[in-house]
Every structure is written in structure tokens, then in C-alpha cells.
Amino acid sequence: MKSFAIIGLSSFGHFLAKALASSGHQIIVIDRDEDRVERVKSFVDKAIVADATDKETLASIGLGDVDGVIVSLGDQMDASVLVTLYLRELKVRNIVAKALTEDHGKILNIIGANRVVFPERDQAYRLAKILESQYVLDSIDLSDKISIIEIAPPREFIGRTLGELDLRRRYGVLVLIIKEVIPEEIVFVPNPDHLIKDTSILMILGENDKLAKIKKMK
């Protein structure tokens, strides 16, 4: 179990707090909007109504011992920059900041954010990858060049074994997991003799240009 503080309870901050709390982590939330704070009180450990852009107020909360502070003020660029700067001066060891633009992200990095995230941009890219193929159910970027895609099997896959498909040699991709719906089963690093059914779901790792060939299958 870890402890996190979330500054800013916009939609991103609210749902992040809920997700982390549901995983059993200790959560502190801070927002100057009393209504927003009231809406999360039932599932966080500590909910504080305060203006985090005031350095003395921020210092008085005592965030030095938490495992990470998430600055969810991306729609308020000046506020997110100021809060990130104060957190660095207060020697908070792990700062994650939400940004709206590339320039905003660069500034946050320069003044001390350990990691900058772009939720709206990343979600749009992810959705685009899912929509471009009838088989892709989900997509996770591991880097600019490598991803994992979750797909329903194209017609060419159904009724054949992984060995027969030989995806590593033909396409340079690796099947990490197969999720079987009937009967329900998850197979990690499946064997070459694993038969692909029309109800199988495959998680495939590869370079994006090679995965693109899989996505284009009929």
C-alpha cells in the first residue's frame, strides 16, 4: 500500500483518486472548491479544502512523506506551474503533473516534475488506434515505437495454432497472453500448439509498424 496526494479535483483528479483508493492506497486530496472535496470524502483518507497555490498553506499540509503528489491542475496552467515549483522547493520526492500542451509539459519538467502526463492527448491517441481496426479492443503504448494491442482474432487466425500462424517469424510480433472466454481462462506466454478460437482474445507485443500489419487483417 502506498500513499498519494492529489491536488486538484477536476474529472481527472476525481477519478484518479477513486481508482487509487479502490486499489487500497491511502489518498489525500486538496482542492479549493468545497463541493468537489465533499464529493470524494466518502472514499479518500483525508480531504482538504485549501488553496494549494499558497506556499505556506501547502507546506502546512505536510506532503513530504507521501509516495507521490499528483498535480491535477492542467486546465489552470499558471496554478499547476506554481504548485509544482512549490512542491519541489518543499522537497517532495515524486511529483507527477498533468499538462495540456507540449510547452506546458516542458515547463513542468524544467521546474521539477518527475513525470508529466497528457491524459486528453494520450486517450485520444489510444482511441484512434482502437477505431482504426475492427479487431483491436485496446492498445497500450510502451514507448514511441513499441505497443501492446488486445485483439479479437482476424479470420485468418481462427482454427489455427500459434505454431501454424508463426507470427514471430512472419510479422516480428509476440503473443504474450491469450484470454479464452469459453471456458474462461488466461494463458500467459501460450504454447505453439494453442488453438485460436473465434472467442479468443490475444494480447500482442511488437513494434508499431509491425503491429499495423496485424491491424489491417480481414
Report, as ranges of residue numbers, the positions in the chain whose pLDDT lies below 70. 74
Number of helices (H), then strands (E), belonging to the chain: the values are 9, 11
**What string of DSSP letters covers 98-114?**
E-SSHHHHHHHHHHT-S
Question: What's the CA gap between 154 and 158, in Å, rounded?
Answer: 7
The dotted CATH code for 3-117 is: 3.40.50.720
**pLDDT score recorded for residue 215:** 87
- In CATH terms, are 3-117 and 122-215 the same topology? no
**pLDDT score recorded for residue 74:** 66
Query: Closest Cα to residue 150, out of 208, 205, 202, 215?
Result: 202
Residues forming beta bridges with residue 4, ordered by sequence position: 27, 68
Write out pLDDT tens, residues 97-112.
999 899 999 999 999 9
Write out pLDDT tens, residues 67-89.
999 999 968 899 999 999 999 99
How far are the Cα atoms of 4, 119, 139, 211 from residue 163, in angstroms, in the given order? Answer: 45, 38, 24, 18
Architecture of the domain whose range is 122-215:
2-Layer Sandwich (3.30)
Look up cell 498535480; give the residue. Answer: 71
**pLDDT score recorded for residue 152:** 92
Q: Would you say the pTM of this structure is higher than 0.75?
A: no
How far are the Cα atoms of 49, 180, 190 from residue 194, in angstroms, in the given order? Answer: 55, 11, 6
Residue 22, amino acid: S
Q: Checking DSSP bridges between strand 185-188 and strand 201-207, what pairing results, if any? A: unpaired
Q: Cell triple for residue 65?
A: 512523506
Residue 208, amino acid: N
Domain ranges of the chain: 3-117, 122-215
